[in-house]
Amino acid sequence: MKKLYLQAFISLFSLLIGFMLLSIPSSAQNSKDNAPATEPTAPEALLTAENKIYGIGSISKTVTATAILKLADQGLIELDSPVSGYLPQFTMPDERYKKITVRMLLNHSSGLLGSLYSNSDLYGCIDNSNHDRILEHLSTQRLKADPGEYSVYSNDSFQLAELIIEAVSGLSYTDYITRHIMDPLGANDTITMHSDLDKSDIADTYKNNRLMPTVMTTTLGDGGILSTAADLCTFSTIFMKDHHSILSGASVAESIKEQAAGPHIYDGNYGLGWDEVNAYPFNTYDIKAVKKGGDTDNYHAMLTVLPDYNMSAAVVSSGGSSAYASLLSNELLLSALNSTIDLQESAQETSFSGEAAAIPDEYLEFTGLYNGTASFALDYKNNKMYLTLYSTPALSNNKIKKSFELTYLDSGYFVCKDDNILNTIMPASQRYITEGFRLIKNGDTYAVQAEYYAKYFGVSTDFSSLTLATKLDDFQAAGQAKTAWKSRSNKKYFLLDEHYASASYISQPYIEGEILDNNENYFVINGSLYAITGKDSLSNVGKKRDIVDINITPKDKIEYLSATSGFQYVGEEYLSDLKLNQTYTIQTGGFTQWYRIAGSIAGTYTSIEISGEGSYFIYNQYGALIDSSLFMNDTMTSYLIEDGYIAFAGKQETEFKIK
């Protein structure tokens, strides 16, 4: 057996790379030597940089899918049986929920709205509330599509899969994956927040250049596992040609084959728990590669497996992104392939070529308003297509209004020669993009598909394809509803009942929105487009991940806003001015208290004493976090910035004394 283990620690962010190369099978083509394949040997445990463990985010979904498949191997689960048969307590107002099967959870085609994000990442705390409330959470929701109609990324689906594993096995999710997957493999550094763990083994994370308490993702089945690059490589042997005996050969084949439902104009080339089952750049060499990435607020990871070559690479980091991790894993595996077989050079396109041509008449049907990764309008004039960008959640700006001119090429692509659309919609550092756009129709659905080559740091190139947006049906909001939402333009709504250690206080403490330019039937909140469905209700539109419905409940002249993502907010009229030499106490209900920093108190330093379990957060006038008691190296003295905000979050009766 050949093994190569590579470790690195980069000063920009904590980074760990693991790489595994088992013996090359005799069936692999172009072998540099024709020695027969040796018997596979169980991989040895790898040392990690400083023995640190990292959150692997959504790579947890691959572990969850493996647990489901193992139970299927035992005859305890049928992939194409209804979820409700295993979880009788799972109900929804929409009767179509009864058609959701276990397979649909694993290939993202369940039709569930999206993700329970509230309290999903906590600093220094362990909390089981998301696990305990997911069924109640879904019991009030609609479906966004017929089950099995199409695949689009769904975190809530894997939370349901987590519950199925527990219901069928009689074990907790953590105990099941530990006893039946990780322990047999010798992957002893793979844990969840419920494992017996030493927090000092977990990689540090930072916000505002300040050390944070250990962070845990509470939604285990979709993103809550922590591991090492070594353990991820060990786990990957399950899917290699000469794999170990965690799963049957039939289940391994099922896991890594293409499973995406419906027409491929919505989202990825899914397997069961995998993002890609025919991944670039290996597909350009006719080599099968399966990939799964993971991103949380703090950790990022990528696992890439070449099943027919018994190879894998894993990259985990605190800081960075799964896109960077993907590039590293690609380069490692290409290097390994070059060292073991004669990897034939592949002529790889890195641009979209063709001659300018007349736009086909059928494309004129695509005129209209679109929503997905961004919201924009398409129109045509003088043989050019114009894409007018209105908003994108990546920027959280409610007003962009930027127009791009695109030329049609005889190769079937539209290209923008004078600007870069994707870098505007999805900004990233150290990235250069060459992009092309296709217009795709399937039935009554019109979609804009983006394909692009991204070169990072001027060195590595990756290729991606995504559905940018789908065309919206004509919609007309009621006059009273439009008037009500116009009055809410630029009004802020602040987080109300998040756990005091929630990462949401750092990333998005409040939301605000305004009527969409040129179409008053829609409202934009932090870059996301909503249809105005009532004077107190909004609904996300389009065929995309994480559809969110919003409802407002007025009480005592204060508006309370609830979202199907699990977040609760309160209108800015709830706020009053902060006062010095006062004690603020969390009242019954545990709602977060918000105050404005104004008047003579602004521009001063203060110390805040906490009695009980809670945290405070101080923001500038733009909602950017300035200081928090969560910071590990807290000086206990905080600057109160003019026109900023302060939040006190904690359990009932927790006190905050302002000096």
Helix (H, G, I), strand (E, B) or coil at 585: strand
Measure the CA–CA gap between 548 and 114, rounded to whole angstroms.
8
pLDDT at 267: 55
Residue 46 has pLDDT above 90, yes or no: no
Mean of pLDDT values over 270-290: 94
CATH number at residue 407: 2.40.128
Q: Are residues 281 and 305 in the same domain?
A: yes
Residue that wins the pLDDT comparison between 51 and 403? 403
pLDDT at 200: 86
CB 302 within 8 A of CB 291: yes
Residue 340 has pLDDT above 90, yes or no: no
Mean of pLDDT values over 451-461: 79
pLDDT confidence bin for 252, thresholds 50/70/90: very high
- Tally Cβ neighbours within 10 Å of residue 657: 14
pLDDT at 430: 63
Mean of pLDDT values over 192-209: 89
Return the axis-axis angle of helices 60-73 and 229-236, rounded to nearest 10°: 30
CB burial class (10 A; 0-12, 13-18, 19+) of residue 311?
Answer: buried
pLDDT at 458: 64
pLDDT at 429: 67
Measure the CA–CA gap between 107 and 152, rounded to whole angstroms.
8
Q: Are residues 517 and 548 in the same domain?
A: yes
Measure the CA–CA gap between 408 and 364, rounded to whole angstroms.
12
CB burial class (10 A; 0-12, 13-18, 19+) of residue 401?
Answer: exposed
Measure the CA–CA gap between 8 and 177, rounded to whole angstroms.
28
Give tens-digit pLDDT for 347-371. 666 788 899 999 999 999 999 999 9
User: What's the number of CA atoms in the CB half-sphere (13 Å) around residue 636?
Assistant: 4
pLDDT at 398: 59
Residue 68 has pLDDT above 80, yes or no: yes
β-bridge mates for residue 300, sequence order: 295, 317
Give tens-digit pLDDT for 528-541. 999 999 999 999 99
Residue 372 has pLDDT above 70, yes or no: yes
Measure the CA–CA gap between 170 and 489, rounded to whole angstroms.
50
CB 263 within 8 A of CB 149: no
What string of DSSP letters covers 147-193?
Answer: TTS-----HHHHHHHHHHHHHHHSS-HHHHHIIIIIHHHT-TT-B-T
Measure the CA–CA gap between 356 and 324, rounded to whole angstroms.
34
Mean of pLDDT values over 110-134: 92
Residue 245 has pLDDT above 90, yes or no: no
pLDDT above 70 covers a percentage of the chain that reads: 88
Burial 85-114 (b: 16+ CB within 10 A, else e): ebbeebebeeeebebbbbbbbbbbbbbbbb
pLDDT confidence bin for 195, thresholds 50/70/90: very high
pLDDT at 461: 81
Boundary (domain end) residue, out of 427, 453, 471: 471
Q: Are residues 293 and 162 in the same domain?
A: yes
Q: Does a structural domain hold residue 254?
A: yes
Give tens-digit pLDDT for 559-578. 999 999 999 999 999 999 99
Q: Does a structural domain hold residue 432?
A: yes
Q: Are residues 374 and 234 in the same domain?
A: no
Q: pTM here?
A: 0.91
Residue that wins the pLDDT comparison between 438 and 346? 438
Return the axis-axis angle of helices 129-138 and 155-169, rounded to nearest 10°: 110
Boundary (domain end) residue, out of 471, 491, 523: 471
Mean of pLDDT values over 610-620: 96
Q: Give me Rg for the CA atoms of the chain.
A: 25
What's the chain's average pLDDT? 88
Q: Does a structural domain hold residue 33?
A: yes
pLDDT confidence bin for 599, thresholds 50/70/90: confident
Q: Are residues 284 and 141 in the same domain?
A: yes
Q: Are residues 30 and 146 in the same domain?
A: yes
β-bridge mates for residue 210, sequence order: 207
Residue 381 has pLDDT above 90, yes or no: yes
Mean of pLDDT values over 17-37: 44
pLDDT at 268: 65
CB burial class (10 A; 0-12, 13-18, 19+) of residue 278?
Answer: middle
Domain that holds residue 549: 479-573
Q: Does a structural domain hold residue 205?
A: yes
Give tens-digit pLDDT for 473-530. 999 999 999 999 999 999 999 999 999 999 999 988 999 999 998 899 999 998 899 9
Residue 597 has pLDDT above 50, yes or no: yes
Q: Token pair 């200081």 is at which residue? A: 627
- Tally Cβ neighbours within 10 Å of residue 153: 18
Helix (H, G, I), strand (E, B) or coil at 323: helix
What lies within 8 Å, CB to CB, of 85 at 6+ separation is: none
Closest alpha carbon to 516 in 542, 482, 562, 561: 482
Q: Does a structural domain hold residue 354?
A: no
Mean of pLDDT values over 84-97: 97
Q: Are residues 531 and 584 in the same domain?
A: no
Measure the CA–CA gap between 135 and 83, rounded to whole angstroms.
12
Boundary (domain end) residue, out of 573, 607, 635: 573
Measure the CA–CA gap between 591 and 593, rounded to whole angstroms.
6
Q: Are residues 307 and 184 in the same domain?
A: yes
CATH number at residue 225: 3.40.710.10
Q: Does a structural domain hold residue 351?
A: no
Lowest mean pLDDT among 222-236, 334-348, 612-626: 334-348
Measure the CA–CA gap between 461 and 454, rounded to whole angstroms.
5
Lowest mean pLDDT among 243-252, 384-393, 560-569, 575-584: 243-252
Q: Are residues 203 and 137 in the same domain?
A: yes
Q: Does a structural domain hold residue 585?
A: yes
Q: Are residues 219 and 325 in the same domain?
A: yes
pLDDT confidence bin for 45, thresholds 50/70/90: very low
CATH number at residue 600: 2.60.120
Give tens-digit pLDDT for 133-152. 999 999 999 999 999 999 99
Q: Are residues 493 and 597 in the same domain?
A: no
Residue that wins the pLDDT comparison between 566 and 35? 566
Q: Are residues 124 and 166 in the same domain?
A: yes
pLDDT at 634: 57
CB 123 within 8 A of CB 503: yes
Closest alpha carbon to 338 in 386, 282, 261, 258: 282
pLDDT confidence bin for 28, thresholds 50/70/90: very low
Domain count, the chain: 4
Q: Token pair 């007018």 is at which residue? A: 388
Q: Does a structural domain hold residue 6?
A: no
Residue 415 has pLDDT above 80, yes or no: yes
CB 234 within 8 A of CB 186: yes
